[in-house]
Every structure is written in structure tokens, then in C-alpha cells.
Amino acid sequence: MANWHEWAELLERVREENPLVHNITNVVVTNFTANGLLALGASPVMAYAKEEVGEMAKLAGALVLNMGTLNNKEVEAMLVAGRAANEAGVPVIFDPVGAGATRYRTETARRIAEQVKLTVVRGNAAEIANMIGEAWAIKGVDVGEGNGDRVALAKRAAEQLGAVVAITGKEDVVADGQTTYLIQNGHPLLTKVTGTGCLLTSVVGAFAAVEHDAAAAAVAALVYYGVAAEQAAAKAGEHGPGSFQTAFLDALAYTSVDDVKRYGRVEQR
């Protein structure tokens, strides 16, 4: 298998290069996302006006599009930014938050995928399934009941979307159409803090900014993030979600390449 231990070293490259990550994200997670990217060692910017997003996307190392609290004005800006990023060769990372929950979200996710060349799509199983025209229950923005084969789903989605697909949950799956990886890090407390999925999508952006191989960037980002969550839970988990959130931001800053190599659980499927 590809040596994911080598990919783990991308964490150091992010910290050295401090890439600018342009986010068009949702109102729930904006501050948490900016702080999480700073803790990692990246440089966040949020910019939404259609008059400036093309210019900003071209300056960035990665563009992150997140549909969490979408409206038509923002969708228009996402399309402008996405096309500009494509022109400049800037990777575009997409989080189809709530795809499948309403027709508007499902249609918008598909429209963005049609009009923008996406590098990585990161979502829960329901969002990814609904984005490619398959059924999977969703409750608002959270994955619903479903016991489909997530590995097979990730592969189909990667083929159909022509992008690396990361499906997260208790176990994470990354597929690039040829190879599939399973990552078994993380902690249930991540489900008790809003925006941990959205921040993860932006963290994938930071890794994709420093590494052209998008599957390597996605695997490295996910394993680092899961290990950081485990470290945070060990320090502050018993106090509950509030203390965990603070400890997690700290862990994003202090988790090292060695920690990722030691505690990472990655398999090829």
C-alpha cells in the first residue's frame, strides 16, 4: 500500500508553508473554522462578495465551498470563485452540507459539481449518496439511519464526480476511484460539537494546498484530525463537549507528525 506514514508528514509542510485557505462557508461554523485553521498552522480567510471572490480564490492555496446556510447570492459567489480557482489551478474542496435534506440543497450540490471541477468532496454518507442520486436518510445536516456499504458508495461517488471523495463518520473512507482508504481515528465527542465536519473540510483544504495528490492530502488531513480528537478527549473528554471543543483546538496545534504516525489507524481497502 501507499505509505501513509509519508503522507503524515504533510502536516509539517502545512505548518511550514502556512497556506491561505479561502472559505465560503456557513454562519454556524465561521469562527470555529477560522480558529481551527489557525491552530493547525494555516491562514484562513472568509470572503463572500461576488465582486471579490474570484480574485481571492486565485490568491489562495485552496478554496473551500460549504453549503451549510446557503442562499442564492452565496451560491452565485461559490460558482464565480470555483471557476476562478479552476482557471488558476487552485484545488477546490466541497462540503455538500445537508444535501438530500431539501430539494434546494440537493440541486445546488449537483449544480456546483457540474459547473466547478472539484478536487475533494467531504461529507457524511447521506450527503454524498444524495449528491450522486442515491437515497440515504438525512436529518437536517446530520447523517440519518443507513447501513449501506460506505466503501462502495465512496468509490461510486469518486468515479461519478471525478474527484477524491471522503465520507466521514465513526470510520472515514477516502476514495479516488482506484484506491480506497479506511481511517479509524476520531472520537464520539466530535459529534457533540457543531462544525467539526465543516472544519475538517477546511483542514482538507489546507493539506490540498501543499500537496497535489488529493487522496494523499485527504488521508493525511483525516488521520491527523482524528488523532487530534483522541488526544483532546483524553485530556478533557470527561468534562463534556464544551471542554472538549477547547481541548480540540489546542490539540490541532500540538498534535505532531510523530503522534499521527504512532496513533494513526489507516488501512487500504
Given candidates 91, 100, 197, 226, which one binds ligand TZP under the rule CB under 6 A?
A: 197
Q: Interface mask (CB under 6 A) for ligand ATP, residues 131-160, using x and -?
A: ----------xxx-----------------
The partner in contact with residue 26, picked from ligand TZP, ligand ATP, Mg ion, none with C-beta cut-offs of 5 to 8 angstroms by kind, is: ligand TZP
Contact 175, 158 (CB under 8 A): yes
* CA 263 to the chain's CA centroid: 21
Q: And the C-alpha cell for 201?
A: 473540510
Total of residues contacting ligand TZP (CB under 6 A): 12
Rounded Cα distance between 183 and 170, Å, is 9
Say whether residue 97 binds ligand TZP (CB under 6 A): yes
- Comparing CB distances to ligand TZP, the nearer of 195 and 237 is 195
Q: Looking up cell 466530535, which residue turns up?
A: 190
Q: How far is the CB of 89 from ligand ATP (least distance, A)?
A: 27
Q: How far apart are CA 200 and CA 101, in angstroms?
A: 21
Size of the site for ligand ATP (CB under 6 A): 18
C-alpha cell, 180: 480506497
- Residue 14: phi, psi to the nearest 5? -60, -45
Distance of alpha carbon 240 from the chain centroid: 24
Q: By three-state DSSP, how is residue 118 classified? A: coil
Q: Which of 23, 86, 108, 124 binds ligand ATP (CB under 6 A)?
A: 124
191 exposure class (CB count in 10 Å sphere: 0-12, 13-18, 19+) = middle
Report the residue from 19, 36, 68, 264 that binds ligand TZP according to the rule CB under 6 A: 68
Task: List residues near ligand TZP by CB under 6 A.
Answer: 26, 28-29, 68-69, 97, 141, 194-198
Annotated binding-site positions: 46, 122, 168, 195
Annotated binding-site positions for ATP: 122, 168
Task: List residues near ligand ATP by CB under 6 A.
Answer: 124, 141-143, 168-170, 172, 186-188, 190-191, 196-197, 200, 225-226
